Chains A and B, each alone.
Chain A
Amino acid sequence: MINSANRSSQSGTATTDLDWEKIRNDFPILKLKVDGKPLVYLDNAASSQMPQPVIDRLVRYQTTEHANVNRAVHYLSEVATQEYHRARCKLQQFINAGEDREIIFTSGTTDAINLVMHGYGRKFIKAGDEIILTTMEHHSNIVPWQMLASEKGAKIRVVPINDQGELEFDEYEKLFNEHTKFVGLIHVSNALGTINPIKRMIDLAHRYSVPVLIDGAQAAPHLTIDVQALDCDFYVFSAHKLCGPTGVGMLYGKAALLEAMQPFKGGGDMIASVTFEKTIYNTLPHKFEAGTPPIAAAIGFGAAIDYLTEIGIERIAAYETTLLEYATMRLNEISGVKIIGTAAEKTAAISFTMDGIHPHDIGTILNQDGIAVRTGHHCAQPVMQRFNVPATSRASFAFYNKKSEIDVLVAGIKTVQKVFL
């Protein structure tokens, strides 16, 4: 797979490389030096960097458009409300949702999953019910469901993964029975880079009339998302992994499900009327957006979506694949380095271990060369247990990375080996 793709990607690199270098210049932070060394930022799966147009959008909002939304009748409030709504519509288009009210702004992926756990899970999951999760879920798609399961007396069932880091589809199928009431599924593994066959998995769940939540935190930056084609019931991701600001994310939910759910947080904006006898909840999406939302961050989210859409997610994915292939080849050449997660379908993230060297030592020594990688368990301890490692180092790439940075990483890894020789 990697070899054939590698060959096909050889042609045309000369012209696309020029474009990507220009795009890279949109990111002021990438000009930073760390301890005199050029920053080599390879921790994009944790958080990506922000391009100038998004920074400019935030500045424009704060300097000329800010007020609270959905409230007052004055000029600024109307501008802010309109821009906030436009951001929602951009997200709707980005994931091809049928209606804008199906997009709920949350504080991030974790918040969105918790919203579904409280709003859907606490209302519809009962004692004896079963929730299917996978071994490669991020803790954010494990812990809320465990909390629900222990509150309700429900049971968590887990889809295993094979040695390549791919879900075992047959085992997934076997987990379904009449008690199955919910599936939580990560689209792309943050620890392994594996792209899961979510369409097949959603279709199977729907044969049992079970709703599916897709954690798209690692997928949205790299893959085209079409929630209607996928037919998923919920889809969640954060802005800051898509070159947007922290503090905002989104929940897509099918309107009928969102309507049936109970609110997650109570407060202003989520009500139609309040008396001490009875409160009538507001319509979608407001029912799930209590209090003043992260207006600036949401508008920045919209600007980030514009930025990525203009480049094109498919072009981004194709370019990142060339980075993945090159990095995989170079790391495989170093003896003593082992890549954890070798699925046939991967995004540009590589977890690796080094013989006899702890990931935190690797991370600290790479940092001395200006290289930023993530080291640790990646909030995916079940994955670490599956591969019998306490932690890994992870280099994760974005479209603004370049092959020469992979060369710096390779040199850095060789320095690590020299230190521990």
Chain B
Amino acid sequence: MMHTNSLYQEVILDHNRKPRNYGKLEHPSHHAVGHNPLCGDRLDISLQLNEHDQINAIAFQGESCAICKASASMMTAAVKGKSRSDAETLIDEFRDLATGKLNTESPHHLGRLTVFSGIRDLPTRVKCAVLPWHTLHAALNSLDNASTEAEQDPVQIVTDNTSSA
């Protein structure tokens, strides 16, 4: 019954059913809310950077489709324990993967996240997969103006971009 080329592979369905790091940190150093006005998806990401600029805690919550939720869940698992700059590398690579710009044959750091490569054939769903990554980027760069994001991508990162660090 299932299509072999389906985006909805078991790993994605599993993360959708049992999202990792779901919730909100009580005292985050960084926080952002991502919003996709076209489909109503809303994602809240909070994280804690330690003194070595490493993400030692991260959590997400929100209303979204399975692709967005699984992407967020796998993202939090992937960046936890990583330095800020490693996380930014992953963000860039994931955006390239989703938009079909990444050559998956060349060295990259995405690992199992390449399960999302099929999204590049579904332009209307790219923003679902990318929203968590944009939101993470906004959280990590809490001094940046959120509207710059919107110019860069149809996915808008709006407001609530706070840093209490």
Contact = CB atoms under 8 A, between A and B. Distances in A.
A308 interface: no
Interface in A103-127: none
A224 interface: no
Interface string A389-421: 011000000000000000000000001001110
Interface stretch (A142-150, A205-213, A255-263, A359-367): A359-367
Contact of A361 (B3, B8, B40): B8
A419 B2 contact: yes
27 contacts: A357-B66, A358-B64, A358-B65, A358-B66, A359-B65, A360-B65, A360-B67, A361-B8, A361-B66, A364-B7, A364-B8, A364-B122, A364-B125, A368-B3, A368-B6, A376-B38, A376-B40, A377-B39, A377-B40, A384-B40, A390-B39, A391-B39, A391-B40, A415-B1, A419-B8, A420-B13, A420-B66
B128 interface: yes
B92 interface: no
A376 B122 contact: no
Q: Which 8 A-B pairs have the closest CB atoms?
A: A358-B65, A390-B40, A360-B65, A361-B66, A361-B65, A419-B8, A368-B3, A391-B40
Interface of A: 357-361, 364-365, 368, 375-377, 384, 390-391, 415, 418-420
B140 to A, nearest CB: 27
Interface of B: 1-3, 6-8, 13, 16, 38-41, 63-67, 122, 125, 128
Contacts, number: 47
B8 A365 contact: yes
Q: Give chain B's interface secondary structure class.
A: loop
Nearest to A357: B66
A418 B1 contact: yes
Given A368-B6, A420-B13, A420-B66, A360 B1 contact: no
A28 B64 CA distance: 37
